[in-house]
Structure 1
């Protein structure tokens, strides 16, 4: 299951008791040995909160799943943080290459999916399309690590129209037509993968090949961008590092552009910074672009279908409503954009700002 699919599944789940555990972990031994102790401690803390808030009959399935969670996490595979989502019917575990400002436990009717939204926002999971005029490969990648090579009816693909003979290749028009036909076939395979996974593609190729691909592409938006191929460094792990450097660069530029777009809406009266107003707009579909500072959190209590009450940080508890997750998912599910950033341009408006549709 891809991150996008897992995010959608977790966001749509509703249960009387939904427990989210998020805590920092370690990539390497012996530091990762501490993670087992941390997991036990945070599980015990979560169990105590569940016991205090719910009767035993309702709580027992959750308590049982939390107990089993301790043995389900293999600390040898940990990254910078781990997120566990537990209700009476299911348990999901997601590892992240980004650390947290602090560990947290959230208990409510829905999961606290903000960490997954941040991961999806960073294109944490994507494809590398290695494109040439005679062969094409696709790799599924998480950050800078290759997970596997895609092997299906579309990939890997060798160009059946490739013209190896120098004489025939001298016919520029024939070659150009064949290349376009080949790249069109590649693009159709890319579109199918995107429909199934929701993931985007970073193209590693010669510049001229990327240009032609963009000319024939049906949906240009599913391509994150391009990185020039170095045929001396085409091992999968080398491609992944190269691609992630480029993806990170593209994301930084996109975040800066998004902030500029939002700031331009201030003079039009289309920017909201009040959390109550932002929440209401997210419910009503009047949200085009939400930008949230990476570390911003705000505990609230729901006091109506569209009303919330802010809670001072020192008075917050695991039972408080995860308002950032709720707002971000409301907007994302209604085809709005959500950006998490550490860039300081947002600070002029505060920790959270929304560009409305109208």
Structure 2
């Protein structure tokens, strides 16, 4: 099973042909919980979904084939021992995908000609990606991260350690440098030979040259990128890197520690509070912008108007009430919704489409407390024009 990203959500939104689409959501329990009812509730949800698909005219064999991946998961005892806080699965003929997510989800299934993704918005709208640069003399590592994890990126034309720049094959009376050819962008890099490299007591000038090469290499590697970057390293190293960095989106806040002994999980644990503060600042600025535009025709708190604007690609920023989420307010546990056939769920479907249309056109979506939505409704948006 995969961890959910915004790209996954975009893919789900595009799969909207006339075939049967099933969206399944279940709140789950992490390893160590005494609750063992998750597989049973999943089985009951599938049984109800089978009946809904039969009502749509699908033959028994078609229903069994469509839900086969969900039935396989039902019988996978090991998988249920490694759940997070919520489980989502999406199925259509010949295709399925599932996600364990670190937020609780409603117990819900939907059947229709499109997937429902609204219950996952708490993950995606808090899942803004960021970069983490772990800096030390011994090891340079670049990670791409989100609320859930870090993944190390393979660097090109970036020295991975000071020893890749400074070496001392034999003691000499002087120092020299030669240029190594590079197969990628950015040209060659200098490798310095001189006293001090053998015992690790590198000169300050050599350290600055090393960091300059790291900064230049990353500047080329990240050309055109706009993700925020948090730095992790000792204070002197981080300060020296800031002085030569060419990447324009380095955050002012940093994590001051030696990252060499920290794996991705510990690095994420240390860096996420810094990233979260930065993202909260972005959200507050977006809310101020909505307030300034409200009443000018370039912002609205009417869901129908927002949905129409989202279809046209006009929504720049969308705020949706997620505490509680729309689907949770009208759903009893285990409910199967036939999309387009139940008026009680029409507002949720409309909001769901507005969200996916906003994301597919490059807009930003924030899932916020209901009290934070202007006008007291379920959605508010500022428009591009």
TM-score calculated relative to the size of structure 2: 0.73
1:40 corresponds to which residue?
Answer: 43
Cα distance in 1, alignment partners of residues 54 and 229 from structure 2 = 46
The total of aligned residue pairs comes to 334
Q: What is the alpha-carbon distance in structure 1 between the residues aligned to residue 117 and residue 157 of structure 2?
A: 33
Deviation at 1:259, TM superposition (A): 1.2
| CA offsets 1:244-297 (integer angstroms, 9 cap, x no match) | 222222222222222111111114232112211111101112211111111365
Q: Which position in structure 2 is the counterpart of 1:208?
A: 239
Name the CA distance, whole Å, in 1 between partners of 2:210 and 2:20: 58
1:319 aligned partner: 338
Q: Matched residues in 1 for 2:156 and 2:148: separation?
A: 26
CA contact (8 A) 2:126 2:147 kept: no
C-alpha displacement of 1:17: 0.9
Check 1:272–1:165 CA distance in 2 against 1; reply closer, same or farther (3 A cut). Answer: farther
Over 3 Å counting, the alpha-carbon distance change for 1:290 and 1:76 in structure 2 is: same
Contact kept in structure 1, 2:306 and 2:381, CA below 8 Å = yes
**Counterpart check, 1:291 vs 2:291:** no
Alignment partner, residue 98 of structure 2: 93
Give the distance between the partners of 2:383 and 2:109, measured in 1 at CA: 31
Aligned position for 2:141: 137
Distance 1:247 1:343 in 2: 23
**1:65 positional shift:** 3.9
Match of 1:183 among 193, 212, 215: 215
Does 2:132 align with 1:113? no
User: Helix, strand or coil: the match of 2:30?
Assistant: coil
Report the counterpart of residue 25 of structure 1 in structure 2.
28
> In 2, Cα distance between the equivalents of 1:249 and 1:184?
28
Structure 2 residue aligned with 1:335, among 362, 380, 383?
362
The answer to whether the aligner puts 1:269 opposite 2:297 as a matched pair is: yes
Q: Is the 8 A contact 1:203 1:210 kept in 2?
A: no
* Partner Cα distance (2:33, 2:376) in 1: 43
RMSD: 3.6
Match of 1:104 in 2: 108
Secondary structure in 2 matching 1:128: strand
| 1:306 equivalent in structure 2 | none
Q: Unpaired runs of 5+ in structure 1?
A: 300-311
Name which one, 1 or 2, has greater alpha-carbon Rg: 2
1:52-85 residue CA offsets vs partner (Å, 9 max, x unmatched):
2233165453243443342357111111111111
Structure with greater proportional helix content: 1
Per-residue deviation, residues 62-109 of structure 1 (Å, max 9, x unmatched):
243443342357111111111111111112110111113x32212221
Displacement after TM superposition at 1:22 (Å): 1.1
Structure 1's 178 and 233: CA in aligned 2 closer, same or farther, altered over 3 A?
closer
Q: Secondary structure at the match of 2:373?
A: helix
On the 8 A contact 2:298/2:383 being kept in 1, the answer is: yes
Secondary structure class of the residue paired with 2:367: strand
Distance 2:88 2:31 in 1: 18
Per-residue deviation at 1:20? 0.7
State the alpha-carbon separation in 2 of the partners of residues 18 and 242 from structure 1.
Answer: 40
1:68 aligned partner: 72
Q: Name the SS for the 1:33 alignment partner.
A: coil
Structure 2 unaligned regions, length at least 5 = 167-191, 341-348
Taking the aligned partners of 2:227 and 2:88, their CA distance within structure 1 comes to 21
- Pairing of 1:146-225 with structure 2 (within 5 A): 149-151=152-154, 153=156, 157-159=160-162, 160-161=164-165, 169=203, 176=208, 179-190=211-222, 201-205=229-233, 206=235, 207-209=238-240, 211-212=242-243, 215-217=245-247, 220-221=248-249
Q: 1:244, 1:12 → 2: CA distance?
A: 31
Question: Is the aligned partner of 1:243 residue 2:271?
Answer: yes
Structure 1 length as normaliser, TM-score?
0.78
CA distance 1:115–1:90, change in 2 (3 Å): same
Change (3 A) 1:254 1:343: farther
